[in-house]
Amino acid sequence: MTESVLFEKRNHTALLTLNRPQSFNAFGGEMVSTLADILTSVSSDDEVTGVVITGKGKAFCAGGDLRWLEESGLSYYSAFHKLAAIYHRAVLEIRRMPKPVFAAINGFAAGGGFSMALACDFRVMDSSAVMIQAYTSNGLSIDGGGTFTLPRIVGIARALEIAAFDQPIDAERALEWGLVTEVAKEGNCLDRALELLKRITDGSLSSFAAVKRLLTDSFSTSLETQIEKERESLSLCADHPNGREGVTAFLEKRKPVFNK
Distance, CA of 185 to CA of 189 (rounded, Å): 7
Greatest alpha-carbon pair distance for the chain in Å reads 67
Asked if residues 180 and 201 have their Cβ atoms less than 8 Å apart, the reply is no
pLDDT at 260: 59
Q: What stretch of H or E contains 9?
A: strand 5-10
**Of 109, 98, 120, which is closest to residue 53 (Cα–Cα)?**
120
Domains located in the chain, CATH noted = 5-201 (3.90.226.10), 205-251 (1.10.12)
pTM: 0.93
Walk along the chain (260 residues) in steps of 10 and give the mean pLDDT of each run: 88 96 92 95 95 97 88 89 94 96 97 97 98 95 96 97 97 98 97 97 95 91 92 92 92 87
Q: What local confidence, expressed as pLDDT, does residue 28 receive?
A: 87
Q: Under a CB-based contact definition with an 8 Å cutoff, are residues 193 and 104 in contact? A: yes
The residue ranges of DSSP E strands in 117-162, in sequence order, are 122-126, 130-132
